[in-house]
Amino acid sequence: MVTAVARNVGFSHSRMLARLGAESETFLDVVDDQLVGSLINPNRSSYRYMLARIYGFEAPVGTAVLQAQNLDAHFARPRIRSGRLAADIIALTISPQEQALLARRHQVPALRSAGEALGWMYVLERLAQRVAPLGRHLYDRLPSELLHAGSYMQSASEHSLFGLGDALDLLTRTTAMADRIAAGANAGFRSLHAWLESTPPWDSF
């Protein structure tokens, strides 16, 4: 799978990233199957469809994260990429199928603590990290689309993951806090899986 190169990026930098990475690998394998299968032989429509599915999850999660208590919005906001996703989708000229998909609202629970919100932020970051290596694969086949609608792909970086790892390690001074972050991440991955399961596969569009 083309996303495999992102599997272990940055894990040695942070003990909390190492734990979350180990606990989430099965989820990420499922995401690979659910999300990027339509891009093995990509075209403009399948790329746009993938972005729309990511947006349908990221937008409500981003809202919930920014509303979490005791979480620094200045830290969180740059790591939420729903604005980039929306701009990319618009640049690709949204179709009626994506309009119907984006009209749906994925239900995300209220995030009651900074630890829980950081766990969900980890899901967003790992999703971007997992998809980002597709950039070169797509650029070889869709250069114009990536030039004008590739801001989400370009936004994932090791620096962003490391910064999140630093914040996670600062918070995990107790086992209880580490467990709270891990529980948030696990809930986020389950929610992502449920969202992707609820959307139609590319071959039925």
CA distance 178 to 162: 17
Confidence tier at 196 by pLDDT (50, 70, 90): very high
As given in the structure block, the two tokens for residue 21 are: 């990475």
Radius of gyration of the chain (CA): 16
Amino acid 204: pLDDT: 54
Residue 12 token pair:
């040695």
H helix intervals, the chain: 15-35, 44-66, 73-76, 82-91, 96-103, 114-131, 134-141, 143-148, 151-155, 158-171, 175-198
Domain ranges of the chain: 2-204
CA distance 165 to 118: 10
CATH architecture of 2-204: Up-down Bundle (1.20)
Answer yes or no: is pLDDT of 82 > 90: yes
User: Would the pLDDT of 13 be above 90?
Assistant: no
Task: Name the token pair of 60.
Answer: 């409500």
Q: Which two tokens stand for residue 63?
A: 């809202």
88 closest CA partner among 100, 75, 102, 74 = 102
Q: What percent of the chain has pLDDT over 70?
A: 91
pLDDT at position 10, please?
43
pLDDT tens-place string over residues 47-81: 999 999 999 999 999 999 999 988 888 889 988 99
C-alpha 102/C-alpha 31 separation (Å) is 19
Residue 133 reports pLDDT greater than 90: no
Q: How far apart are CA 130 and CA 117, in angstroms?
A: 20
pLDDT tens for residues 150-162?
A: 999 888 776 678 7
Average pLDDT over residues 133-146: 85
Each residue's pLDDT tens digit, 85-120: 999 999 999 888 888 888 888 999 999 888 999 999
pLDDT at 1: 30
pLDDT recorded at residue 20: 93
Token pair 């906001």 in the structure block, residue: 77
Write down the pLDDT at residue 130. 82
- Predicted local confidence at residue 64, as pLDDT: 96
Q: What type of residue is 159?
A: H
Q: What pLDDT shows up at residue 56?
A: 95
Nearest to 75 by CA among 127, 114, 130: 114
